[in-house]
């Protein structure tokens, strides 16, 4: 048998395995995003524009908190405990879940304080969000534990259960005419808590809250940097949305959130691929390091083409009446945001690919520098756009920030790979000299 045929046989199972991992990642993210899409559409149809803006602020806060929580809890679990023996994985999964639950309790308390200080509809929204945060973050930790175990189908089942429970609860609220900002957020958090209980049953692993401190200490070399990266991403988005609300009104916040909901199906695909892009980039790095940049460019190009295709589809299909059917009165002001948001998504595809490459290299200082720089540009240019022309120009400000960020991401990836190759090519020669 030839060497070429042997390699083909070896690569075939790997390709099937990779396709399966990507497939479950996309399906899981799909059901999760579909549930959020339904929640957003129901809220947009049932609430006034200012009310939906308040709901959007609470939802953006949730996004910020969950990204921040992943840094010290589930990100280290995915990096260091994927594919390890079960006896090592189980205590790590319990500690990560306990850390996530602790983060949920702490962030819930902070949201309660913020809600009490703000008062009114916005304060009530933050209080409702606070109630569900421990369950939301615990469910998310179990979801990532399944992926670190290589069992994405169980994560999909858990998110499916959550989606069904949430949709049924929202349907009852709509039919009974009890749907408000507060009831929407309580339904979101309450059903997540039930799904977290189901995840506990699936894994038979309790969240080890008592190991939170030791887990943070053990994983500080990764968790600290990932926390800062994730906080900078979510924090920049949060500041920009708050600035938009302050400068242009809550209706502008509602318009941006409605546009994001309409672009949600593609964002689902992007997030699903992102769940498995780092380990796949790592495999390329270990086998053929010099192909890493090409791999990342290909990955970003494929996703970017998909983003462009989805944007064109949305711009053609939704104006025919579907857009107004979905979000009613918000459709008019939201329509003009779809083009710049689509371009932002295309840039996001390339950024995610470069980020996967840097993480596979372990070049956390380089990726952190990129993230902090772009976060600053995001806030400054997005806020400047909001001051000049509300939601529309704020979106173009974000596009400008990400365009500038691309230069830094890809420059740092090339430099990081160059350093990696130099170090690893020098190692054999040093060993031979000895």
Q: Domain boundaries in the chain?
A: 24-218, 227-423
| pLDDT tier, 388 (very low <50, low <70, confident <90, very high otherwise) | confident
State residue 172's pLDDT score: 94
**Count of beta carbons in the 10 Å neighbourhood of residue 7:** 10
Residue 305's H or E segment, with its range, is helix 292-317
**Residue 135: partners with Cβ closer than 8 Å, 6 or more residues away:** 104, 189, 190, 192, 193, 194, 195, 196
Alpha-helix runs per DSSP H in 204-291: 212-218, 220-248, 250-262, 264-287
State residue 7's pLDDT score: 40
Of 262 and 188, the one with more pLDDT? 188
| pLDDT tier, 402 (very low <50, low <70, confident <90, very high otherwise) | very high
Lowest mean pLDDT among 31-40, 210-219, 376-385: 31-40
DSSP 396: H
Distance CA 394, CA 399 (A): 9
**Count of beta carbons in the 10 Å neighbourhood of residue 389:** 15
Residue 255, pLDDT above cutoff 90: no
Q: What's the rounded mean pLDDT across residues 229-254?
A: 78
Token code pair at residue 17 = 């395995």
Contact 353, 407 (CB under 8 A): no
Greatest mean pLDDT among 48-52, 84-88, 132-136, 348-352: 132-136
Token code pair at residue 72 = 């010290």
Of 144 and 169, the one with more pLDDT? 169
CA nearest neighbour of 99 among 236, 249, 211 = 211
pTM for this model (two decimals): 0.72
Percent of the chain with pLDDT over 70: 88
* Longest CA–CA separation in the chain, Å: 79
Residue 430, pLDDT above cutoff 50: no
Of 44 and 415, the one with more pLDDT? 415
Give the pLDDT confidence of 56-72 residue by residue, as tens digits. 888 888 888 998 898 89
Which position has the token pair 């390890």?
A: 84
State residue 2's pLDDT score: 38
Lowest mean pLDDT among 110-124, 218-232, 397-411: 218-232
């Amino acid at each position: 048998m030839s060497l070429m045929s042997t390699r083909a046989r070896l690569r075939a199972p790997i390709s099937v395995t990779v396709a399966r991992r990507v497939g479950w990642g996309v399906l899981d993210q799909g059901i999760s995003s579909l549930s959020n899409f339904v929640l957003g559409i129901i809220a947009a149809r049932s609430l006034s524009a200012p009310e939906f803006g308040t709901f959007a602020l609470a939802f953006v806060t949730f996004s910020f908190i969950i990204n921040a929580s992943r840094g010290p809890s589930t990100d280290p679990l995915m990096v260091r405990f994927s594919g390890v023996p079960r006896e090592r994985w189980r205590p790590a999964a319990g500690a990560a879940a306990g850390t996530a639950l602790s983060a949920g309790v702490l962030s819930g308390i902070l949201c309660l304080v913020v809600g009490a200080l703000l008062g009114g509809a916005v304060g009530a929204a933050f209080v409702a969000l606070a109630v569900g945060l421990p369950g939301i973050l615990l469910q998310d930790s179990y979801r990532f534990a399944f992926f670190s175990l290589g069992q994405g189908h169980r994560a999909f089942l858990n998110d499916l259960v959550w989606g069904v429970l949430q949709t049924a609860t929202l349907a009852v609220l709509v039919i009974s005419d009890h749907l408000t900002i507060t009831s929407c957020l309580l339904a979101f958090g309450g059903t997540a808590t039930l799904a977290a209980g189901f995840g506990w049953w699936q894994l038979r692993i309790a969240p080890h809250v008592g190991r939170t401190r030791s887990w943070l200490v053990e994983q500080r070399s990764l968790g600290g940097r990932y926390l800062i990266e994730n906080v900078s991403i979510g924090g920049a988005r949060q500041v920009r949305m708050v600035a938009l609300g302050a400068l242009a009104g809550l209706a502008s916040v509602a318009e941006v959130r409605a546009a994001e909901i309409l672009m949600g199906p593609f964002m689902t695909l992007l997030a699903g691929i992102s769940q498995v892009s780092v380990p796949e980039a790592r495999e390329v790095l270990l086998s053929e390091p010099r192909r890493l940049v090409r791999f990342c460019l290909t990955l970003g190009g494929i996703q970017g083409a998909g983003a462009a295709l989805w944007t064109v589809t949305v711009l053609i299909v939704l104006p025919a009446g579907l857009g107004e059917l979905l979000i009613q009165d918000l459709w008019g002001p939201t329509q003009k945001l779809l083009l710049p948001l689509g371009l932002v998504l295309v840039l996001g595809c390339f950024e995610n690919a470069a980020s996967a490459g840097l993480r596979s290299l372990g070049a956390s200082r380089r990726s952190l520098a990129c993230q902090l720089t772009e976060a600053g540009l995001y806030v400054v240019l997005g806020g400047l756009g909001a001051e000049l022309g509300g939601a529309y120009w704020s979106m173009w400000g974000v596009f400008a920030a990400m365009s500038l960020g691309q230069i830094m991401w890809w420059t740092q990836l090339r430099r990081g790979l160059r350093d990696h190759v130099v170090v690893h090519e020098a190692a054999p020669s040093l060993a031979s000299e000895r």
